[in-house]
Structure 1
């Protein structure tokens, strides 16, 4: 079958155009694959970092929870010890008051006359 030169050149131009489109499509595919691999690597790295941060926060929370629990126990024990020390101090003070006679009920009765006694020293008021 005979093909004219004009038809041959037209077919050749079509063939070249289609081949150029194919080559451009292949370049686009390669570029997209590279971009996809790059993005996947970035997302994987970001996900790994996020997982590490989450695990670190979780470990911190567990550690802090343990510390808080220990501190609560220590504070409860210290409060018990302070209350016991206050009871001992009150008991010793009561024994001291009894030993020196400060718990005598007549002292409470004499407190009233102490404010009005005549030999009480007075502060002088200066006249300006």
Structure 2
């Protein structure tokens, strides 16, 4: 029993050491990665949620109210791993019209070329 407890303690210590190195701050001599942004202009009357899509990953960036423009910063790990990114649009408002219903619906996707530091622009119609 004492051997198993010691082995468990060693495994916990090794896991903690590995986890700490992964989450450590980056090299202070290295410049931070450039921010990649997307300006989203919505010409819809209803609000939409904006998602960044890469491979099987879907990350919600935020809400764009109807007839407005919002700016979002893309997560560096989503930009650095690929040269293309897709944006998904989810309608979240219906203006109370009975024929439109009230459930959210994933409406469309838009794919764009992207590199770290780019300033993208997306218009929703």
TM-score, normalised relative to structure 1: 0.23
Higher RCO structure, 1 or 2 (CA under 8 Å, sep 6+): 2
Would you tell me which structure has more strand in proportion to its own residues? 2
Q: Bigger radius of gyration, 1 or 2? A: 1
Would you tell me which structure has more helix in proportion to its own residues? 1
